[in-house]
Structure 1
């Protein structure tokens, strides 16, 4: 069998990817498949062979993107932080605005936040819950989840601060909103989007302390 071509670079041999050897799927496809298995079966099932079977592809493609299974798991943590927090980060990103409009802008962001939680396309509650289940058996993952929780609460606190609440009250309201949402997911309550959208304004009024 002919050997794979090798290119010398800085005195060290490195592999040159031939046309036939190039990966068929990119890194994000592998990560998304890992996310699906994590949600359905837990972290112990996130392994190379099941992933390759799911994608109907050779395992060799995996090793173009990841060194090993641990590298995949580390990438999965980063993937969660990126895809599940992207919309929230964008929601609280600084915007140039007239200070007199800050409260109305904050109220608008709060409404968008609730829609984000209801819609669940840009924020996956299933992915979040799967990460928390993983964190219960892995101290390193638990540390990352706790860090993201603090970061999210800080984002929410910023919204309440912009609405005119004190720093202390803003933190308390942020925690109540966040822990309420986590509790909703953890208890497995199932309500239609129609019901959730109908009661959302009242929830917002209670949580914000402002008539919306």
Structure 2
């Protein structure tokens, strides 16, 4: 009788698995580490399987940027949808989602994409598209609250400047009750 070693099944990944793996690397290490070898090792597959789904590294980078952009825009639209009369609640919800401590992974990805955009024209275009959508959606909410166009635009910028700024802060012992401070600030942005 022939002794055949049991073969372990090869892992088969689809394009989305590669993209999601790349997003994880992006969040943890930045765009510089977004390399085929690093990603294949992390996913436990050969480099060769990468080329079934992507032409080259740039193709992967573009797919990662598209995935991030589409997901961000979808989430932004969802977060800023409001029935008439509930616009302030939608604004407060948006602030809470971004300023939440449980949003650390999302903030890490956001920071990595923004860092990437400092040196990559495709990343710049994607960040600009996402920011334009963010500001437009929140501006519509402020306009629905009866604010004039210029104030609605200014509050939209202030809202996102606040949520991204607070997500980067580690206030430690600055205030006894940061949650109250955050609620006060959110109330003043959304009023």
CA contact (8 A) 2:95 2:159 kept: no
Q: Does 1:139 align with 2:110?
A: no
Which residue does the alignment assign to 2:56?
Answer: 68
Q: How does 1:12-161 map to 2 (within 5 A)?
A: 24-93=12-81, 97=83, 102-103=84-85, 105-119=86-100, 120-121=102-103, 124-161=106-143
* DSSP 3-state at the match of 2:52: helix
Question: Corresponding residue for 2:5?
Answer: none
Structure 2 SS opposite 1:152 = helix
Higher-Rg structure is: 1
Aligned to 2:170: 190
RMSD: 2.5
Structure 2 unaligned regions, length at least 5: 1-8
1:177-198, CA deviations, whole angstroms, 9 ceiling, x for partnerless residues? 112223334xx31258xx5544
Whether contact under 8 Å (2:36, 2:50) holds in the other structure is yes
How many equivalent residue pairs? 179
Q: Which residue of 2 aligns with 1:8?
A: none
- Over residues 57-108 of structure 1, what are the superposed CA-to-partner deviations in whole Å (9 max), with x where a residue is unaligned? 1223322221211110000101111233332211234x6x5xxxx23x1012
* Structure 1 gaps, min length 5: 1-19
Report SS of the residue matched to 1:137.
Answer: coil
- Checking the alignment, whether the CA contact within 8 Å between 1:83 and 1:123 is kept in structure 2 is no
- The residue aligned with 1:9 is none
> What residue is the counterpart of 2:187 in the other structure?
205
Does the aligned pair in 2 maintain the 1:157–1:173 contact within 8 Å? yes
TM-score normalised according to structure 1 size: 0.74
Contact 1:135–1:145 (CA<8 Å) still a contact in 2? Answer: yes
Taking the aligned partners of 2:178 and 2:134, their CA distance within structure 1 comes to 22
